[in-house]
Amino acid sequence: MTTVLIILGAIIVYAVITYFYQKRVVKTLTEEEFRAGYRKAQLIDVREPDEYAAGHILGARNIPLSQLRLRMKELRKDQPIYLYCQSGLRSGRAAQMLYRKGYRDLYHLKGGFKMWTGKVKKK
């Protein structure tokens, strides 16, 4: 029983630390704020290719989180990076990964693609 509580406590502590770290490295934007700036930035969809093909924000490039480490060089450090995924979880993880590699101007869409009401392109 004590082992379970220790593990549960560790998971909670890890989640809290990750939450505050993410808040420091990436700015979460409402759809309105996101819409105001994404055309002047690198717009990256970090979902998998099949999710991207089913519908994505007009002008977005698909660099799945699973490929980000290998494809990071495709992103410029001197321009803002606007990230989104389905719900906001993967884009937050992508931002943490980019931050560790020296990218600083990072933003992600609150609630992810499922909350997007703007123009969408389907393949």
User: CA 25, 99, 35 angle in degrees (round to 5)?
Assistant: 60
Active site residue 60: no
Name the active-site residue from 29, 85, 98, 106.
85
> SS3 sequence, 25-84?
HCEEECHHHHHHHHHHCEEEECCCHHHHHHCEECCCEECCHHHHHHHHHHCCCCCCEEEE
List, by residue number, the catalytic residues: 85
